[in-house]
Amino acid sequence: MPIAIRELKASLSRVLQRAQAGEIIEVTSHSKPIARIVGIPAHADEGLRGLIASGGLSWTGNKPRLQPPVVLVASGTAVSRIVLTDRA
């Protein structure tokens, strides 16, 4: 949610509540983004809170989207083929 500095000053408590609820607040100056406010979930432990505060970790409040599995290409016989052969 973009918000101008003037509006942020006028409604800081409301904006911070929205951030803590999981919304990412983008602060703008002259319609250009200058900062983001990201809330820290109340149930986060201190380790996560430290990472979030340092900017090393961010959370949108949604479930994490995992990266697709890495496709391994190896020479030789596939393990699945060895297992099927062994079962026969």
At residue 51, φ and ψ (nearest 5 deg) are: -65, -45
Burial label for 18, CB within 10 Å (0-12, 13-18, 19+), is middle
Q: Note whether residue 82 is domain-resident.
A: no
- State how many domains the chain has: 1
pLDDT tens, the chain, 88 aa long: 899 999 999 999 999 999 988 899 999 999 999 999 988 777 767 777 778 778 887 777 788 778 888 787 778 888 888 899 998 7
What are the Cα distances from residue 64, in Å, to 35, 39, 48, 57, 58?
23, 16, 14, 12, 11
Q: Which domain holds residue 50?
A: 2-62
pLDDT (tens digit, 9 = 90+) per residue, 18-43?
998 889 999 999 999 999 998 877 77
What is the CATH number for 53?
3.40.1620
Whether the predicted model's global pTM rises above the 0.75 cut: no
Whether residue 25 contacts residue 3, with contact meaning beta carbons closer than 8 Å, is answered with yes
Q: Note whether residue 81 is domain-resident.
A: no
Q: Note whether residue 86 is domain-resident.
A: no
Q: Note whether residue 38 is domain-resident.
A: yes
Q: Note whether residue 41 is domain-resident.
A: yes
Cα–Cα distance for residue pair 7/22, rounded to 1 Å: 19
pLDDT at 59: 74
